[in-house]
Amino acid sequence: MKARFFSVFLALALLVVPSFPIAGSVASVATGVSPFLEKGPLAESTNVTAAPGYNLRVCQVVGFPGVVGSCYDPYQMRTAYGVDSLIAAGYDGTGKTIVIVDAFQNPNLVAQVDFYDNYYGLPAIHLTQVAPDGLTPFVVGDPNMTGWAEEISLDVEWAHAIAPGANIVLELAKSNEDADILSALNDAINNNRGDVISMSFGESDTCPGPEATAAWHQAFVNATKKGITLFASSGDQGAAQPSCDGNSWIKSTSSPASDPLVTAVGGTELSAAGFCLAAFGCDPSSYPAPGTYMSEIVWNEGDPYGDFGNVFGLGTIATGGGFSTVWDEPSYQQGTIHGGKQRGVADVSYNAAVLHGVLTYLAIPGVATGFYRFGGTSAGAPQWSAIIAIADQMAGHDYGFINAALYKIGQSNKKYANSFNDVTSGTNSALEFDASNNPVDITGFDAGTGWDAPTGLGTPKSGSALSQLASQWSAGQGNAAIAGSKPHAHGNPSGPGHVNSH
Domain that includes residue 212, residue range:
11-501
Angle of CA points 93, 270, 73, to nearest 5°: 50
Given a cut of 70, is residue 38 above it in pLDDT?
no
Higher pLDDT, 77 or 47: 77
In sequence order, what DSSP letters do the residues of 85-111 get, joined into one string?
HHHHTT-S-TT-EEEEEEES--TTHHH
What's the average model confidence in pLDDT over 354-377? 95
Answer for the pair 447, 425: CB distance below 8 angstroms, yes or no.
Answer: yes
The letter for the amino acid at 488 is: H
- pLDDT, one tens digit per residue, over 427-462 is 999 999 999 999 999 999 999 999 999 999 999 999
Mean pLDDT, rounded, of the chain: 89
Torsion angles phi and psi, residue 448, rounded to 5: -165, -175
Peptide bond just before 346 cis, omega within 30 deg: yes
Q: Is residue 1 part of a domain?
A: no
Measured over the CA atoms of residue 324, residue 325, residue 326 and residue 331, the dihedral's sign is positive
What's the average model confidence in pLDDT over 383-412? 98
Q: Which residue intervals of 357-487 are DSSP H helices? A: 380-395, 403-410, 413-419, 462-472, 477-484
481: CATH? 3.40.50.200
What's the average model confidence in pLDDT over 55-84? 95
- pLDDT, one tens digit per residue, over 103-159 is 999 999 999 999 999 999 999 999 999 999 999 999 999 999 999 999 999 999 999
Tell how far CA 251 is from the center of its chain.
Answer: 20
- Which pLDDT belongs to residue 233? 95
Task: Kindly state the DSSP code that residue 487 receives in the 8-state scheme.
Answer: B
Given a cut of 90, is residue 254 above it in pLDDT?
yes
Given a cut of 50, is residue 27 above it in pLDDT?
no
What's the average model confidence in pLDDT over 43-69? 85
Residues 351, 291: Cα–Cα separation, whole Å? 13
Pick from 230, 366, 377, 367: nearest CA to 299: 377
Residues 197, 190: Cα–Cα separation, whole Å? 13
Given a cut of 90, is residue 210 above it in pLDDT?
yes
Given a cut of 50, is residue 37 above it in pLDDT?
no
- pLDDT, one tens digit per residue, over 218-244 is 999 999 999 999 999 999 999 999 999
Pick from 277, 294, 383: nearest CA to 47: 277
Q: Is residue 82 part of a domain?
A: yes
Q: Is residue 456 part of a domain?
A: yes
pLDDT bin (cut points 50, 70, 90) of residue 286 is very high
Q: Is residue 3 part of a domain?
A: no
pLDDT over 90 percentage in the chain? 83
Instruction: List, in sequence order, every residue forming a beta bridge with 11; answer none if it has no partner.
Output: 38, 375
Q: Is 431 helix (H, G, I), strand (E, B) or coil?
A: strand
Q: Is residue 2 part of a domain?
A: no
- pLDDT, one tens digit per residue, over 459-484 is 999 999 999 999 999 999 999 999 99
- Which pLDDT belongs to residue 52? 66
pLDDT bin (cut points 50, 70, 90) of residue 502 is low
Q: Is residue 5 part of a domain?
A: no
Name the domain count of the chain.
1
Angle of CA points 310, 248, 236, to nearest 5°: 50
Q: Is residue 444 part of a domain?
A: yes
Q: Is residue 375 part of a domain?
A: yes
pLDDT bin (cut points 50, 70, 90) of residue 87 is very high
